[in-house]
């Protein structure tokens, strides 16, 4: 099992790859955090703006809570503390921190930069370098960042319940303790909690392959998200949410027993579709198609109700469908005796290995007939039927019609 530091490193790589936000993992001490965060800031920033984390503030932080901190320069950081072991309460001396940032929630135009400099009593001669630095930072909405950090907290700490979120901003005058923002933040938190509740319900339905209910929860999830997300680049935000949704759907399908080989293909294809989309409507349509596709795949390919032996056998068959397959070959491939495999497969699947192979080949052929223009004889060979007549007999047995009739009906 991976250590907490290793899990934190992987979570940090996930955030950096998904959102281009730098991530720091270090001991949760004020000195260590200040030194680490300042590595991401130019010298003129560290010399002109006070550091926003004090020792007193660090001592007040709790493990497994997401802290969103906006510093004196308007830069955003999100952080959580974790112990050395999964789920273990740890004394403050052994706590570590994962910090994501700096990033901005809005585009840094001239009025933004001028306001930050004036509020901190800095000369406007810093306008050019300050704005150039800000323009190089990633722009990420609060809700997207919280979603990524929430995933990271669960991956690192093993927390399974709701993850608390708190937002701190510095006082206007340097030297005063940070101020916890209440009031409007409570309303945002209610929306976030509603959003995460619908997210959880949606993923539960995806794991069961229930398309209609999953889409219904996704619509409610989207409405809650629109109430929170406010950015100047809505298409980029929608794409980032699409990438996060793709990752969550993949995880739900994996929990349903879908082999990672298939999930790699599905998730990679949808990631390309999302990134290459040019219009907001196109990105939103892809999200709905993505949920439907994962649900359909779970319904047709899920294996979580079977024993590990049968799951290995089915996966082997699916990966070698185009090759000549025999009971002995499959048994050798998964390192089990043919007789034991045959008995177990028949008991759990309700059919013999040979019948399952024929059915799987017919289903794959039906998919190719529906979505490609390949000749019937090519499809037969592609799915492992060496004899065209035998392919036609098997297809008629499973589908009640010939391959040509099936293609014409579907078209």
Tell me if 307 is assigned to some domain. Answer: no
- Rounded CA gap, 290 and 266, in Å? 9
Q: Are residues 144 and 194 located together in one domain of the fold?
A: no
Tell me if 333 is assigned to some domain. Answer: yes
Mark which of 152, 181, 210 sits at the end of a domain: 181
What three-state secondary structure class fits 47? helix
Q: Which residue has the higher pLDDT, 395 or 318?
A: 395
Residue 214 pLDDT grade (very low, low, confident, very high; cuts 50, 70, 90): very high
Q: Which of 266-275, 285-294, 348-357 has the lowest mean pLDDT?
A: 266-275
- Rounded CA gap, 25 and 8, in Å? 7
- Rounded CA gap, 181 and 184, in Å? 8
Q: Which residue has the higher pLDDT, 318 or 84?
A: 318
Q: Are residues 29 and 173 located together in one domain of the fold?
A: yes
Q: Answer whether residue 31 shows pLDDT above 50.
A: yes
Q: Answer whether residue 131 shows pLDDT above 90.
A: no
- Rounded CA gap, 184 and 205, in Å? 32
Q: Answer whether residue 171 shows pLDDT above 60.
A: no
Q: Are residues 150 and 17 located together in one domain of the fold?
A: yes
Q: Are residues 158 and 239 located together in one domain of the fold?
A: no
Element (H, E) at 404: helix 403-410
**Tokens 């300050």 map to which residue?**
130
Q: What is the DSSP string of 158-226?
A: ---SPPPEEEEE--SSTTSPPEE--THHHHHHHHHHHHHHHHHHHHHHHHHT-HHHHHHHHHHHHHHHH
> pLDDT digits over 307-363, tens only?
889 988 988 898 888 888 999 999 999 999 999 999 999 999 899 999 999 998 998
Q: Are residues 42 and 135 located together in one domain of the fold?
A: yes
Q: Are residues 174 and 87 located together in one domain of the fold?
A: yes
Tell me if 311 is assigned to some domain. Answer: no
Tell me if 312 is assigned to some domain. Answer: no
The whole-number pLDDT of residue 332 equals 92
- Rounded CA gap, 282 and 276, in Å? 10
Q: Are residues 163 and 294 located together in one domain of the fold?
A: no
Q: State the Cα angle at 208 between 206 and 214, rounded to 5°.
A: 35
User: Which residues touch 384 (CB under 8 Å, ≥6 apart)?
Assistant: 321, 322, 323, 324, 325, 357, 361
Q: Are residues 38 and 130 located together in one domain of the fold?
A: yes
The whole-number pLDDT of residue 372 equals 78
User: Taking residues 87-91, what's their average pLDDT?
Assistant: 48
The mean pLDDT of the chain is: 82
> pLDDT digits over 368-391, tens only?
888 778 889 999 998 999 899 999
Domain CATH code at residue 385:
1.10.10.60
Q: Which residue has the higher pLDDT, 192 or 96?
A: 96
Q: Which of 26-30, 142-146, 229-233, 264-268 has the lowest mean pLDDT?
A: 229-233
Indicate the burial class of 405 (C-beta count within 10 angstroms; 0-12, 13-18, 19 or more).
Answer: middle
A 10 A CB-CB count for 232 gives 11
Mark which of 140, 161, 181 sits at the end of a domain: 181
Q: Which residue has the higher pLDDT, 355 or 86?
A: 355
Q: Are residues 37 and 160 located together in one domain of the fold?
A: yes
Mark which of 181, 199, 218 sits at the end of a domain: 181
Residue pair 52/120 in contact by the 8 Å Cβ criterion: no
Q: Are residues 229 and 162 located together in one domain of the fold?
A: no
> pLDDT digits over 222-254, tens only?
876 665 544 456 787 788 888 888 888 988 888
User: Taking residues 80-92, what's their average pLDDT?
Assistant: 64
Q: What is the strand order of the sheet 179-180 is part of?
A: 23-27, 96-103, 76-82, 66-70, 165-169, 179-180
Q: Answer whether residue 164 shows pLDDT above 60.
A: yes
User: Which residues touch 386 (CB under 8 Å, ≥6 apart)?
Assistant: 324
A 10 A CB-CB count for 85 gives 14
User: Taking residues 151-159, what's their average pLDDT?
Assistant: 85
A 10 A CB-CB count for 359 gives 14
Tell me if 306 is assigned to some domain. Answer: no
Tell me if 135 is assigned to some domain. Answer: yes
Q: What is the pTM of this model?
A: 0.45
Q: Are residues 390 and 281 located together in one domain of the fold?
A: no
The whole-number pLDDT of residue 49 equals 84
Expressed as residue numbers, the domain containing 401 is 318-410
Tell me if 82 is assigned to some domain. Answer: yes
Query: What's the domain count of the chain?
Result: 3
Tell me if 104 is assigned to some domain. Answer: yes
Q: Are residues 70 and 169 located together in one domain of the fold?
A: yes
The whole-number pLDDT of residue 1 equals 45
What three-state secondary structure class fits 142? helix
The whole-number pLDDT of residue 169 equals 64
């Amino acid at each position: 099992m991976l250590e907490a530091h290793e899990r934190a490193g992987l979570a940090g790589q996930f955030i950096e790859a998904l959102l281009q936000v730098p991530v720091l993992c270090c001991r949760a001490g004020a000195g260590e955090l200040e030194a680490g965060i300042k590595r991401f800031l130019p010298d003129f920033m560290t010399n002109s703006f006070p550091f926003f984390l004090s020792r007193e503030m660090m001592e007040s932080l709790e493990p497994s809570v997401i802290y969103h901190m906006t510093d004196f320069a308007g830069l955003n950081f999100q952080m959580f503390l974790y112990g050395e072991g999964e789920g273990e309460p740890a004394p403050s001396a052994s706590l570590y921190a994962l910090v994501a940032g700096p990033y901005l929630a809005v585009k840094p135009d001239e009025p933004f930069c001028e306001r930050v400099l004036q509020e901190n009593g800095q000369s406007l001669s810093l306008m050019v370098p300050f704005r150039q630095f800000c323009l190089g930072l990633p722009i990420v909405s609060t809700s997207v960042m919280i979603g990524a950090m929430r995933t990271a907290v669960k991956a690192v700490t093993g927390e399974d319940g709701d993850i608390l979120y708190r937002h701190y901003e510095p006082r206007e005058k340097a030297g005063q303790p940070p101020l916890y923002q209440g009031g409007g933040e409570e309303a945002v938190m209610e929306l976030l909690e509603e959003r995460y509740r619908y997210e959880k319900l949606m993923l539960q339905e995806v794991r069961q392959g229930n398309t209609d209910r999953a889409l219904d929860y996704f619509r409610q999830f989207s409405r809650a998200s629109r109430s929170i997300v406010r950015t100047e680049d809505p298409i980029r935000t929608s794409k980032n949410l699409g990438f996060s949704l793709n990752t969550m759907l993949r995880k739900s399908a994996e929990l349903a027993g879908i082999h990672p080989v298939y999930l790699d293909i599905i998730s990679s294809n949808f990631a390309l579709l999302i990134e290459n989309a040019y219009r907001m409507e196109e990105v939103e349509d892809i999200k709905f198609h993505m949920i439907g596709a994962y649900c359909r795949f779970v319904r047709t390919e899920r294996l979580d109700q079977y024993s590990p032996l049968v799951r290995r056998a089915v996966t082997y068959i699916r990966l070698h469908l185009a090759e000549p397959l025999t009971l002995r070959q499959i048994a050798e491939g998964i390192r089990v005796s043919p007789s034991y495999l045959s008995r177990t497969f028949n008991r759990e699947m309700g059919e013999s290995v040979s019948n399952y192979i024929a059915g799987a080949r017919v289903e794959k052929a039906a998919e190719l007939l529906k979505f490609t223009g390949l000749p019937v004889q090519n499809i037969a060979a592609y799915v492992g039927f060496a004899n065209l007549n035998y392919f036609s007999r098997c297809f008629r047995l499973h589908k009640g019609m010939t391959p040509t009739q099936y293609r014409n009906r579907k078209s």
